[in-house]
Copies of this chain bind each other. A is one copy, B any other.
Amino acid sequence: MSREDQILDAAEALIVHYGYDKTRVSEIAAEAGVSKGAIYLHFQSKQALMDGLLVRAMERYGEAWLEAVEADPRGGTIGGMYRNVLKAVKNSPLIEAMMSQDPRVLGSYLHAPDGLLRRAQMRSMRAEFIAEMQAVGCVRDDVSPAVVAHVMDMLGYGLLGAGEMKPREQIPPMEKTLELIGELLDARLTPPEAQSDAGKAVLRRVMSEGQDMMRELARSPDEAEER
């Protein structure tokens, strides 16, 4: 394992537990077994470290999701992709914090104008993705991609946030919830003749493009636009 990955492992463990603001660079260094100066040989700043951490987390999440979808015979439908999100998010509290923009974890990083999170958020590819799924016959033509994309965002937001609004005993197992949501999506959106493999191909390509974009964003923070 490279020293850079050791540093990112240490950063992830501390930031997930204490939050970005309460984690000092010196603590990350100590946890990684290197000096503070060594951190700055790899990362231009604390924020650049966090950017790199999120890129790595998103790559791993994307790979896990793709694997789960590939392994599922019906994974290539909208519902199938959603059903497999849990397998990807599982064991990734950083991804969860990123998706729900949890201030306890992300703290002031949330408001950094040139942080990766802020920059990546401005570009939504979800609606284009739905349009591509329609093009290969995996989503019915009689729905607006923008509306479908928004409903899926709502579900994602609700999946992460609603659990905090209710007593734990009222929340059913996450897998059962995702199963039902997958069924709801497929019952209305997926034509019976849809080819799961075609949907998987679309997801593979979109994920690959998304990761290229994320790396590019992380490399060029100075080109960030002000909101």
Whether B155 and A172, one on each chain, are in contact in the complex, defined by CB atoms closer than 8 angstroms, is: no
Residues 25 to 44 of chain A near chain B (Cβ within 8 Å):
none
Whether A150 and B124, one on each chain, are in contact in the complex, defined by CB atoms closer than 8 angstroms, is: no
Residues 125 to 156 of chain A near chain B (Cβ within 8 Å):
127, 143-144, 146-148, 150-151, 153-156
Is A205 in contact with chain B by the CB < 8 A criterion?
no
In the bound complex, how far is the Cα of B87 from the Cα of A218, in angstroms?
Answer: 43
In the bound complex, how far is the Cα of B153 from the Cα of A153, in angstroms?
Answer: 15
Whether B172 and A162, one on each chain, are in contact in the complex, defined by CB atoms closer than 8 angstroms, is: no
Minimal beta-carbon separation of A101 from chain B (angstroms)? 7
Per DSSP, chain A at the interface is helix
State the copy count for this chain. Answer: 2
Whether B147 and A176, one on each chain, are in contact in the complex, defined by CB atoms closer than 8 angstroms, is: yes
Whether A188 and B177, one on each chain, are in contact in the complex, defined by CB atoms closer than 8 angstroms, is: no
Whether B188 and A184, one on each chain, are in contact in the complex, defined by CB atoms closer than 8 angstroms, is: yes
Minimal beta-carbon separation of A157 from chain B (angstroms)? 4
For A183, list chain B residues within 8 Å (CB): 188
The interface stretch among A5-13, A56-64, A163-171, A206-214 is A163-171
- When the two chains form the complex, which single residue of B121, B147, B150, B184 contacts A187, counting CB atoms closer than 8 Å? B184
Whether B122 and A177, one on each chain, are in contact in the complex, defined by CB atoms closer than 8 angstroms, is: no
- When the two chains form the complex, which single residue of B143, B146, B161, B181 contacts A157, counting CB atoms closer than 8 Å? B161
Whether B166 and A162, one on each chain, are in contact in the complex, defined by CB atoms closer than 8 angstroms, is: no
A-B contact pairs, 11 of them (CB 8 A): A127-B170, A147-B172, A147-B180, A150-B172, A150-B177, A151-B177, A153-B158, A153-B166, A154-B155, A155-B158, A158-B162
Q: Which residues of A contact B (CB under 8 A)?
A: 101, 121-122, 124, 127, 143-144, 146-148, 150-151, 153-159, 161-162, 165-167, 170-172, 176-177, 180-181, 183-185, 187-189
Instruction: List the 8 closest A-B pairs by CB distance, nearest first.
Output: A154-B158, A158-B158, A187-B188, A187-B187, A157-B162, A157-B158, A154-B162, A184-B184
Known: A161-B161, A180-B188, A188-B188. 6 other contacts (CB 8 A): A146-B172, A150-B177, A153-B165, A154-B159, A157-B157, A184-B187
